[in-house]
Structure 1
Amino acid sequence: MRSALIVYGGWAGHEPEECATIYRRWLHEDGFSVRTATETSAFADPSIHDLSLIIPIFTMSKIEKEEATNLAKAVENGVGLAGHHGGMSDAFRDSVEYQFMVGGQWVAHPGDIIDYRVDVAKPDDPIMAGVKPFNYTSEQYYMHVDPSIEVLATTTFSGEHNSWIDGVVMPVTWKRHHGKGRVFHTTLGHVAKEFEVPEMATMMRRGMNWAARQE
């Protein structure tokens, strides 16, 4: 049986516990055994190297050097990593080792909660199969991203809130490899209610299954 660990906490505005509950249900339905933790010390546990998948939901906060190193080594050795929004790509701002693994870091969301469009960049990818471009209401994340990521979906900034980024096309959803491990991320999902958006849920659920270590 595939095994997963969800580590949640950090800034409460991203509803980490509610999101962890959704992930736990999906993972159980998809045949995983699941355990959860609410402290970053879970990342330092040697047993994470035996997992299929790790899901961090820990906006901002701090990760100790040994925790980040053990997590990165687990992924390099084949454990999958998947997650959403600031719970993954605005976690542990002072850890470049963690950011290197994720493939991107949040830096701004001009206008805060706004209406924007998500475009499909790779409709032939299995994660994106059948997903059409869709309108979305949330924070539109402006990211600093690793050029090695494989972009699956994008959004285009209008310049309404910051004129100098008018027309910038920004990755929304991506996958990548970190050593032997697979990494999946989407910047969607500011609050748990957004998991009810079919396109977001489809990408996230398929993405976490793709990321999980191939048994």
Structure 2
Amino acid sequence: MTSALIVRGGWEGHRPVEATDLFVPFLKESGYTVRIEDSTEVYADADVMAATDLVVQCVTMSTITGDQLAGLTSAVVAGTGFTGWHGGIADSFRNSSDYLHLVGGQFATHPGKEPGLRCGDETDNFLPHTVTITDAGREHPVTAGIADFELTTEQYWVLHDDLIDVLATTTHPARPWQPWQRPVTSPAIWTRRWGAGRILVTTPGHSLDVLADRNVRTVIERGMIWVTRTAG
């Protein structure tokens, strides 16, 4: 059978247990055996990683050791798929530039509302924005048939390199209370080939209601299938 490893933990604000539990039924119904770990220590177990076809990571911030990252990277290079959403993959392990090199993009910020409209909780960073499917995204199996869609949640500003294939973007407008002078477009969904492995990052997913959004959930579920180790 095809094997999936869910690794979860880190900052509790992203609800790593509840968020990953949303996708366990889908994986089992799709024919995966599912192993769940609450620590990145499993990445250092070469035997487990060699037998894993898919890693779903939901670990925001936190830290990773050199042997753990080496184990994850080696598995991806050998063909293990790697995916996740929001801070669980795009804001993991800020201590590690090598991890950033693996995934190809890193959370920088999520711009907030106009100062006079802020109330001091997480909704200060919930902005209405559009996720725009790119030309490449319209042809890709993960996002084909999905139209541009609207969300009101954290809008990730991502620093990235040119080795990612961007399936969707989101644009941060220039506002009078912000220091930047022109709109900035960030990748919202991207893929990356690393050795024989496939990586897919979906930046929406701050809260359970966003993960339940039809478009977001479709992308994440298709992404799990697409990155899974293939024979080709």
TM-score range, shorter chain: over 0.9
2:146 aligned counterpart, secondary structure = coil
**CA RMSD after TM alignment:** 1.1
Write the mapping of 1:22-33 to structure 2, written as runs, cut at 5 A: 22-33=22-33
In structure 1, C-alpha distance between the alignment counterparts of 2:67 and 2:181, rounded to whole Å = 37
Q: Which residue of 2 aligns with 1:199?
A: 215
User: Could you say if the C-alpha distance between residues 165 and 123 of structure 1 is closer, same or farther in structure 2, counting changes exceeding 3 Å?
Assistant: farther
Bigger shift: residues 59-68 or 190-199 = 190-199
CA positional deviation for 1:89: 0.8
Bigger shift: residues 162-171 or 5-14 = 162-171
1:151 to 135, 146, 166: 166
Q: Which residue of 1 aligns with 2:150?
A: 135
Q: Which residue of 2 aligns with 1:182?
A: 198
Write the mapping of 1:51-66 to structure 2, written as runs, cut at 5 A: 51-66=52-67
Q: Which residue of 1 aligns with 2:119?
A: none
CA positional deviation for 1:101: 1.0
2:19 aligned counterpart, secondary structure = helix
Larger gyration radius, structure 1 or structure 2: 2
CA positional deviation for 1:165: 5.5
CA positional deviation for 1:134: 0.8
Amino acid at match of 2:128: D
In structure 2, C-alpha distance between the alignment counterparts of 1:58 and 1:152, rounded to whole Å = 23
1:162 to 175, 178, 182: 178
Unpaired runs of 5+ residues, structure 1, are none
Contact 1:149 1:176 in 2 (8 A): yes
Amino acid at match of 1:53: L
Amino acid at match of 1:26: F
Query: What do the CA deviations read for 1:174-213 (whole angstroms, capped 9, x no partner)?
Result: 0110111000011010012212111111111111110000
In structure 2, C-alpha distance between the alignment counterparts of 1:38 and 1:198, rounded to whole Å = 27
Q: Which residue of 2 aligns with 1:107?
A: 108
Aligned length: 215
User: Could you say if the C-alpha distance between residues 165 and 133 of structure 1 is closer, same or farther in structure 2, counting changes exceeding 3 Å?
Assistant: farther
Contact 1:69 1:97 in 2 (8 A): no
Identity %: 38
Unpaired runs of 5+ residues, structure 2, are 113-124
Runs of 4+ in 1 over 6 A off after TM superposition: none
- TM-score, structure 1 as length reference: 0.97
In structure 2, C-alpha distance between the alignment counterparts of 1:80 and 1:158, rounded to whole Å = 34
CA positional deviation for 1:23: 2.1
In structure 1, C-alpha distance between the alignment counterparts of 2:192 and 2:208, rounded to whole Å = 25
In structure 1, C-alpha distance between the alignment counterparts of 2:162 and 2:178, rounded to whole Å = 23
2:213 counterpart of 1:212: no
Q: Which residue of 1 aligns with 2:118?
A: none
